[in-house]
């Protein structure tokens, strides 16, 4: 499942094509993806101008201006496990993102096509159909079931050590499980939680509440973890996201952050933390693989 850096990479690739452009026509080649497409989906998109393209957690958000009697709405898009966007503009074809494995063949898995002002087409391809597209009134977006309980964005000003401590106080789960909870912090997934915990020197099995003082304040570990999460995500975005499994950048080139993984998917390799002579191990938490160094992560 794409995590925040992958989705942000796709957003940045699509923004120059979509922002400020009108959707001249839309084509939905099937009635559903993971969930049924909205009623009159293609009709409601046609003629709408994309005021901006944003991201919340792992969702892409196309802000649609009002058109006639149509209110301001947001086209909410999720890539699922195998979804991707392809941009076609004349002879120029590229994929916003960049994918490690070949994308689904054009045609059979091209489920949604947006024809934009200026001649470009944005095509959503999804072989497994675990992605989603919804239309939500802009005024109701924050209260939509997908968004109303999301935690702060890890790269935003609202996410700091104090906010993290408040979310972790009294929790009996492991630190890794807590960070995967989208109510604690939005957009993090297995890959970047493993990386952040390793770089912060924190055990994934450490009790989440151990980062909070008896008075409810963040410990030094909590402050270090917040800084590390931001650094790891920024580095991954700059590298174009990870190219594991199905992810790809918009321009079709491979991202390369996975070449700098220090823990994830490195079981049996020497730990790269300076002065550490440990080995990266793997354990299963909540059905997911965790990669960590028992020597330097405490």
List, as one string, the DSSP characters of 100-144.
SSPPPPTTTTEEEEEEETTS-EEEEE-SS---EEEEEEGGGGGGS
Instruction: Report the b/e string of 256-267 with b at 16+ CB within 10 A.
Output: ebbeebbbbebe
Closest-CA residue to 141 (of 93, 197, 72, 82): 72
Closest-CA residue to 161 (of 184, 191, 192, 188): 184
Give CA–CA dist 219/222, Å, rounded: 5
Q: Tell me whether residue 183 is one of the annotated catalytic residues.
A: no
Residues 3, 73, 121, 195: which is the catalytic one? 3
Residues 11, 56, 58, 103: which is the catalytic one? 58
- DSSP character at residue 38: P
Residues 2, 96, 154, 218: which is the catalytic one? 2
Strand order in the sheet with 132-137: 50-56, 59-64, 73-78, 132-137
For 91, other C-beta atoms within 10 Å of its C-beta total: 5
For 85, other C-beta atoms within 10 Å of its C-beta total: 27
Q: Tell me whether residue 11 is one of the annotated catalytic residues.
A: no
Give the sign of the dihedral formed by CA 54, CA 59, CA 62, CA 63.
Answer: negative
Active site residues: 2-3, 58, 288
């Amino acid at each position: 499942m794409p995590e925040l850096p992958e989705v942000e990479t796709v957003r940045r690739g699509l923004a120059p094509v979509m922002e400020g452009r009108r959707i001249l026509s839309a084509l939905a080649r099937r009635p559903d993806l993971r969930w049924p497409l909205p009623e009159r989906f293609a009709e409601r998109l046609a003629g709408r101008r994309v005021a901006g393209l944003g991201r919340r957690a792992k969702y892409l958000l196309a802000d649609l201006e009002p058109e006639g009697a149509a209110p301001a709405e947001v086209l909410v898009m999720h890539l699922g496990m195998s979804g991707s966007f392809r941009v076609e503009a004349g002879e120029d074809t590229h994929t916003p993102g960049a994918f490690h494995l070949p994308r689904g063949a054009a045609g059979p898995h091209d489920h949604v096509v947006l024809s934009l002002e200026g001649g470009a087409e944005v095509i959503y391809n999804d072989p497994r159909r675990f992605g989603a597209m919804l239309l939500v009134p802009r005024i109701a977006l924050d209260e939509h079931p997908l968004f109303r309980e999301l935690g702060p964005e890890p790269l935003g000003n609202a996410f700091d050590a104090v906010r993290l401590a408040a979310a972790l106080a009294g929790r009996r789960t492991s630190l890794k499980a807590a960070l995967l909870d989208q109510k604690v912090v939005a957009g993090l997934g297995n890959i970047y939680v493993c990386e952040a915990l390793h770089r912060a020197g924190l055990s994934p099995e450490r009790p989440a509440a151990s980062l909070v003082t008896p008075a409810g304040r963040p410990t030094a570990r909590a402050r270090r973890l917040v800084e590390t999460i931001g650094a790891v995500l920024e580095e991954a975005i700059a590298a174009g996201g990870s190219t594991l499994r199905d992810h790809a950048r918009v321009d079709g080139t491979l991202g390369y952050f996975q070449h700098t993984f220090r823990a994830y998917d490195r079981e049996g390799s020497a730990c790269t933390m300076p002065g550490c002579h440990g080995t990266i191990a793997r354990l299963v938490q909540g059905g997911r693989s965790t990669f960590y160094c028992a020597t330097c992560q405490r």
